[in-house]
Amino acid sequence: MVNHVAFLVWLEIGAVYRAAANRRELAEATLSRLLGNAERGQSARPAKNSPELRQLIKRMWKGNPTWGSPRIVGELQKLGIDVAKSTVERYRPRRDGPPSASWKTFLELHAKDLASMDFFMVPTVKFKILFVLVILSHDRRRIVHFNVTEHPTAQWTAQQLVEAFPFDSAPRYILRDGDSIYASTVRQRIESLGIAGIQTASASPWQNPYVERVIGSIRREFLDHVVVLNERHLRRLLRQYANYYHEWRLHRSLQMDSPNRRAARPANPGNVVSFPVAHGLHHYYLPRAA
């Protein structure tokens, strides 16, 4: 009887030792696998954490405070540097105030035969109100025409349409709101150009989202940071922004490209030069010349 009990105890002790050994082997295998993955991850992407890349990302954040991480990722891609959005956000500087409100996602459509127009107001340093007309082509989001006036009229607006669409460049449709400025003179001019005018519903700016978003970008990225002296000064400022907008500004709706198309120029992160544009409020980045 005693021998039988001792045998059972021996079996129980053996089972416990075998279970402990299995757990130890499993733990060692798991630890080895994790360490191996970590080592492979570190060796596969050494450039992602290079000091030059970190410095370049910080320069872009500092030089362009109104940009978001997708814009910086796009700029880096134009330099041949493939960086994840999380890497860019890791080096984002802290803001003193609350973050700016994000824009809602707009419906992605490609309408080559569609344009839109709208007015917005800009105050001057002497508290005068200037009116800016923006005409936008939905094809690659080009600002085909803008102009400034202190006293907008239907005749003036009709003339702007002629200047915006010379010869056979008129779109098939143009979106506008129901403002009284678009009187019969403007509507007749639109028809004479072979354009079908489409009026949006009252108090529904979301029905004309592209030009509304461009106006918001002009305000947020430029006019909110400068003091306008007069009509001539505002026109000069808008020309500067329009040049930056078409040549260098990246758009998410264009797969992080500019309206005039920017070619990617590969560069080492430590060999990139920045160029200020639009009164130094924005920058574009190019490889340093050899």
pLDDT in 10s for each residue of the chain, 290 residues: 545 545 444 555 555 455 555 556 655 655 565 555 545 444 334 355 789 999 999 999 999 988 999 999 999 999 999 999 999 999 988 766 544 443 333 334 446 788 999 999 999 999 999 999 999 999 889 999 999 999 999 999 999 999 999 988 899 999 999 999 999 999 999 999 999 998 988 888 888 889 999 999 999 999 999 999 999 999 999 999 999 999 999 998 899 999 999 999 999 999 999 999 998 999 999 999 86
Cα 142 from Cα 134, distance rounded (Å): 10
pLDDT at 289: 82
pLDDT at 66: 86
CB < 8 Å & 24+ apart, contacts of 186-190: 186/154, 186/157, 186/158, 186/161, 188/158, 189/158, 189/161, 189/162, 190/161
Find the helix or strand (DSSP H, E) in which 233 lies.
helix 231-247
> In this structure, which amino acid lies at residue 44?
A
> In this structure, which amino acid lies at residue 267?
A
Q: What is the C-alpha radius of gyration for the chain, rounded to an integer number of angstroms?
A: 30
pLDDT at 207: 84
Q: Are 181 and 159 in contact (CB under 8 A)?
A: no
**Chain CA centroid to CA 44, Å:** 29
- State pLDDT tens for residues 220-276: 999 999 999 999 999 999 999 999 999 999 998 899 999 999 999 999 999 999 999
> In this structure, which amino acid lies at residue 69?
S
For the record, the structure tokens of 3 come out as 């021998």
Cα 181 from Cα 50, distance rounded (Å): 57
**Chain CA centroid to CA 136, Å:** 18
Q: Residue 121 forms beta bridges with which residues? A: 131
pLDDT at 263: 92
Cα 194 from Cα 113, distance rounded (Å): 12
